[in-house]
Amino acid sequence: MGARKIAETTTEFELVAEVSRVVSELTGIQLGVKQSSLVQSRLAKRLRELKITDPLDYARYYNANENVEVGILVSLLTTHHTYFFREFQHFEFLLKITLPKLIRMKREHGQSKIRIWSAACSRGQEVYSLVMFLNAHLKAVAPDMEFEILGTDVCEESVAIAKNGVYGWDELRSVPSVYLQGNWVRGTGNIVNFVRARKNLREGVAFKTLNLQDLDKMPFGVTPEKFDIIFVRNVFIYFGQSQIKKITSELFKLLHPYGQMFVGLSESLNGLGMPIEWVGPSVYEIKPASSGKVVPLRVAKGAKAPSATDPQSEAFNDSGIEAPQVVPGSALGGAIKSDDRKIRVLCVDDSPTVLLLLKRILTAASGFELVGTANDGIDAAEKIKALKPDIITLDIHMPRMNGVEFLEKYHSDLKAPVVVVSSVPRDDAGLAYRCLELGASDYIEKPSTANLDKVEEELLFKLRVADESWRKNHSGVMRSRALELDASFRRPPLILNPNGKLRVIIANFASRDVMAVLLKGFQGAQPGTLVLLEGAGDVLDAWVEREGPKNTGGKSYSPGSLKELAPGTVYFMDLHEGLDLLRNEGGGLTKSTLAVGPLNRPMIDGIRALSTNHLILEDRGAENPAILLTKVNMILPLTSFVYESNRYLADLETPKQGGGR
C-alpha cells in the first residue's frame, strides 16, 4: 500500500474530500460527492476515537502517522454490511447447476479438486458460508472431490478477522441448522458470547490481502492455477465502468474456460463488450469462440432469464453453452427438473400482522405456495390433515395450544418439517431450544416491517433447506448435531434486578378482564407494574377493591411518587394521572410499556407523549393505529406480551454484532 499525504485542511468538508481522494486512489473505490455523507459519518467515528475535534489537527495527525492511519481509513471506508449465506440464490445455483457441471468436468480431466476464489471476502462470512455449504453437499454427492478456497480483500483488518474466524452468535443464528453442525464451537472467557470456526471449517482455506486494482501482483504464486469459481460480489457497485472492465478482464484470465463468475445480484457485467455470457442470476461464463447450435441453460428457481429487450440478453440468446448434467446417481438427481415445484406451506401464528408479512414473502415467484393459515396448535392439527403441506411454520406463543405443546403432541406423527418462526430469541432455554429439541428443523426470529428484507432472505433459504433435508431424510441426524451449539447458548430471560425498572400497561377499562389474565402471566422476580386505565372514572377504586386482589393482587394508587412503587406489586391508576406522573418522574427508569386492546384518541395521544424505552402494541391487524408505528418497538398478540416484556427487562448479555461488506 503506497504512502499518501493529505493537505492540512481546516474545514470538515475539505478533510472529507482529502480522505476520499486518498482511499479512492489506493483502492479504486469511488468516493465522490454521493458518498460524502458516508465518509463524513465514518470519519467522525475515527475522530471521536482519537479525541480530535479540529480537522486541521486530524490532518496533521494523519500525516505524522500515515503508514498506520491509511490502513485504518481503508478499513473504515471499504468495510460494508455482510452476513452468512447472503444472496442464497447463488448457493441454490451452485447446488443445482454449478457443482454437477464441475464434478463432471473434473472427472473427465482426471482431476479431483475444485478451486474457488472469494475476491472481495470482507470479514470472511462468504468464505465460511461456502465451506459449510460444500461440506454438507459436495462430500455427499462426490466424495472423491476436494475443494480449496482463497479469500482476499483490500482491507487488512477485515482479512485479519476472517483469519481469526470468530463471530458473534447473533450472526450465526441466521445460518440454517444443517450447516451449523460440527462447524462451530462456543468461545470461552472474553469471547463467551462468540463462536469460533472449528479446524474442519478452516481446512483448505486461505486468506490474503489484495487490492483488486493490483491483480497483476498476484499473491497466489508465480504460476497460479486457475480457478473454477470466482465470487466477486457486491464490490463492483463501488467502481466505475472502466475499472470494472479492467478488473473483470483480469479475473476471467484466472478462470477456467468452463468456470463461472458470481457478482452481486444488484450488479451486472453487461455492456462491457467482453466475450462473456449470462448463465444464471448474476452468474457469468466465458463465451465459447464459436458454436453452431443453441442450447439454453436452465436457470435456478427464482432466477429471471433475460428477455430480448433486457440488457442481460446479450450473448444469452445466441449462446452455445452445453446444458449442465446432474452427476449420475447423486442425491441431486432430478433437482434441476424440480424447479417448477412449489413448496406448499402452512403458517401457524395468531398475529395478523405476521401472517400478512408471511403472505407477502411466500409467493409463487419465490417458489412457494401458502396453502393455509392456522391461529394455534389445535387449528393447525386440523389444517394439516386437510391440506397436507410440504412444510409448516410455527409460532410459539398462541392461545389454546402453543408451539411447544403442539410439537410435544404431534411432531412424531408429522409428515412435514416444522420451522419455528417466533419473536422468542433462538437462545431461549425454555421455549426456543425446547422446540428444536422436540424436532423442529430450524428456527427463525419473526419478521417485522423494519427487518423484512433481511428476514425474508433468511426465511426463504431456511425453508428451502429444511424441505430439501426432509425429503432426503437427513434432517434428524443434522438437527441433533446442530443442537450441540444451540444447547451451549440456551439461557432463560430472568429479571435478576427489578429495582430501577418499571412495567407500564395502558388499557381501556373495558379490557379489564383481559388485563387480569395478562397480569397473572408475570411470574418470578418482577419490577413494579403500573396499570393505567382509560375510562374507569369514579369506579376505579371500587373495582380494584372488589376485583383487583382476587385477579391480580393489585391495588389502586393515587398520584404520589414512582419511588414508592415496590417491586412485584401491581398498581392501578387513572390514565391521565399516571401519564402526568411518568412524565415528571419516569425519565430515569428502564420501562417496558404495553398497550392493550383497542386504543382511543386519549390513549394514543398519551402513548405518543410518553417517554419509554420499550413499547409493545397489541396486534389488531388493520386496527393498529398508524400514528404509533414510528414509536412502537413490537406489534404482537397478547400471548407474546409477558415473554417480550420480561425479555426486555431481563439482565442478559448480548453478543456484539459483526459486520463487513
Give the tens place of pLDDT for each residue, 27-43. Answer: 767 677 767 777 787 78
Local confidence band at 50 (pLDDT 50, 70, 90 cut-offs): confident
Query: Rounded CA gap, 413 and 407, in Å?
Result: 10
316 pLDDT band (50/70/90 cuts)?
A: very low
Cα 590 from Cα 613, distance rounded (Å): 6
Domain-located, residue 333: no
Q: Residue 95: is its pLDDT beyond 80?
A: yes
Pairing type for strands 184-186 and 614-618 reads: unpaired
Q: Is 377 helix (H, G, I), strand (E, B) or coil?
A: helix
pLDDT number for residue 259: 94
Query: Span 73-89, mean pLDDT?
Result: 77
Domain co-membership, 541 together with 634: yes
Q: What is the pLDDT at residue 100?
A: 94
pLDDT the model gives residue 143: 92
Give tens-digit pLDDT for 532-588: 888 887 787 777 777 654 555 555 566 578 888 888 888 888 888 888 888 888 777
Average pLDDT estimate for 346-372 = 91
**112 and 219 inside one domain:** yes
Instruction: Look at residue 306 and tell me if it is in a domain.
Output: no
Q: Render pLDDT for 463-485 as a digit per residue (tens, 0 to 9).
A: 999 998 888 764 444 444 557 77
CATH number at residue 31: 1.10.155
Query: What pLDDT, on a 0 to 100 scale, did the predictor assign at position 237?
Result: 73
Q: What is the pLDDT of residue 263?
A: 93
Higher pLDDT among residues 527 and 517, named by residue: 527
Distance CA 9, CA 60 (A): 9
Q: For the residues of 475-512, what is the DSSP string, one character each? A: HHHHHHHHHHHHHHH-B----S--TTEEEEEEEEGGGH
Best mean pLDDT range from 169-173, 187-191, 368-372, 627-631? 368-372
pLDDT for residue 446: 76
Q: Does the pLDDT at position 310 exceed 50?
A: no
Per the domain annotation, does 298 fall within a domain?
no
The arithmetic mean of pLDDT across residues 114-137, rounded, is 94
Give the CATH number of the domain where residue 508 resides: 3.40.50.180
Position 208 in a domain: yes
Could you tell me which residue, 434 or 262, shows the higher pLDDT? 262
CA nearest to 347, candidates 376, 319, 310? 376
Q: 270 and 223 share a domain?
A: yes
What CA–CA distance (Å, rounded) separates 168 from 161? Answer: 12
Distance separating alpha carbons of residues 326 and 97, to the nearest angstrom: 8
Residue 80: pLDDT over 70: no
pLDDT of residue 656: 37
Task: Give the least confident one: 61-65, 148-152, 247-251, 521-525.
Answer: 521-525
302 belongs to a structural domain? no
Same domain flag for 485 and 566: no
pLDDT mean over 197-205: 92
E strand or H helix that includes residue 256: strand 255-262
- State yes or no: pLDDT of 332 exceeds 60: no
Percentage of residues of the chain with pLDDT beyond 90? 26
Structurally, the chain folds into a number of domains equal to: 4
pLDDT at 71: 77
